[in-house]
């Protein structure tokens, strides 16, 4: 329930809704929801990295040791142990990858452009979707919230490519255009009617729109059945959050 003081703030002196105050209240609520979402991602990433990944690593080491000590046992069992060891090691790599995607510290470590290149390369390798990436030089002092927003848009948009487009190729471009940072994610898949309600896609699109709105950006989508989809995000170079 909205606090009494908040309710009062969105009602003008004549008893009518104060649209500007209401918009600000909704904006603040959205910001809190996105922040809570990111905090939960960080918690899950740390739990995966510090607990689950470590336990899997121990299991992989034990299986490797067991494979070395398997002399004298049937070859079939020995081969199964070796395969299990390899499978567990691969599982550990997957856990690390998921952890890094949940909490992409790489964006702060190496910058937005390189981080997007790394993500798209891993996406291409694991999802078997060729992703062409073009990233122009970006400001070195880019706001961390803007950088995280654009990185999350790339993640969500490429996830939608896998789930809905039915193609094996996509393109990502990121560049400065006058006073805006412009991101495009394009696929030549089946496309869809943007006015129709597609449950899986609509949730992701709503999340992307809200993230972009919170950094004072503009979110645009073009799609047509049989003619692919293009998502464009424009964020001002300098923006007050």
Distance CA 23, CA 125 (A): 43
pLDDT tens, position by position, 22-76: 766 766 666 677 667 667 767 776 787 778 888 888 888 888 888 787 777 888 8
Q: What is the CA radius of gyration of the chain?
A: 23
Bridge-partner residues for 222, per DSSP?
Answer: 230
Give 184's pLDDT tier (boundaries 50, 70, 90). Answer: very high
pLDDT tens, position by position, 106-125: 888 889 999 999 999 989 98
Could you tell me which of 123, 118, 126, 111 has the C-alpha nearest to residue 157? 123
Give 98's pLDDT tier (boundaries 50, 70, 90). Answer: confident
| Local structure of residue 227 (DSSP, 8 states) | S
The CATH number that domain 108-236 falls under is 3.30.565.10
The pLDDT, as a whole number, for residue 151 is 93
> Which tokens belong to 77?
């069992």
Give 2's pLDDT tier (boundaries 50, 70, 90). Answer: very low
Classified as helix, coil or strand, 180 is strand
> For residue 236, what is the enclosing H or E element?
strand 229-236
Residue 239 has pLDDT above 50, yes or no: yes
Distance CA 65, CA 68 (A): 5
Lowest mean per-residue pLDDT among 12-16, 83-87, 92-96, 217-221: 12-16
The set of long-range contacts for 208-213, using a CB threshold of 8 Å and a minimum separation of 24, is 208/152, 208/153, 208/156, 208/157, 208/233, 210/30, 210/33, 210/34, 211/34, 211/149, 211/152, 211/153, 212/149, 212/153, 213/27, 213/30
Q: Are 84 and 76 contacting, i.e. CB atoms less than 8 angstroms apart? A: no
C-alpha triplet 120, 196, 153: angle, nearest 5° = 25
Give 205's pLDDT tier (boundaries 50, 70, 90). Answer: confident
Residue 7 has pLDDT above 50, yes or no: no
Residue 173 has pLDDT above 80, yes or no: yes
Q: Domains of the chain: which residue ranges?
A: 1-103, 108-236
């Amino acid at each position: 329930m909205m606090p009494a003081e908040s309710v009062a703030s969105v009602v003008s002196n004549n008893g009518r809704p104060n649209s500007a105050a209401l918009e600000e209240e909704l904006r603040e609520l959205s910001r809190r929801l996105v922040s809570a979402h990111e905090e939960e991602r960080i918690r899950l990433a740390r739990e995966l990295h510090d607990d689950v990944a470590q336990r899997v690593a121990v299991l992989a080491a034990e299986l490797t040791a067991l494979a070395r000590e398997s002399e004298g046992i049937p070859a079939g069992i020995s081969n199964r142990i070796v395969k299990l060891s390899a499978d567990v090691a691969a599982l550990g790599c997957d856990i690390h990858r998921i952890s890094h995607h949940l909490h992409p510290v790489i964006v702060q470590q190496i910058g937005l452009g390189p981080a997007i290149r790394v993500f798209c390369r891993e996406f291409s390798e694991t999802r078997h979707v060729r992703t062409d990436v073009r990233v122009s030089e970006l400001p070195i002092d880019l706001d961390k919230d803007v950088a995280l927003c654009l990185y999350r848009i790339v993640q969500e948009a490429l996830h939608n490519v896998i789930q809905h487009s039915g193609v094996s190729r996509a393109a990502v471009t990121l560049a400065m255009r006058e006073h805006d940072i412009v991101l495009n994610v394009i696929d030549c898949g089946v496309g869809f009617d943007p006015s129709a309600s597609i449950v899986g896609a609509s949730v992701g699109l709503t999340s992307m729109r809200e993230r972009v709105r919170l950094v004072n950006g503009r979110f645009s989508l073009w799609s047509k059945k049989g003619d692919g989809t293009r998502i464009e995000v424009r964020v001002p170079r300098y923006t007050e959050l």
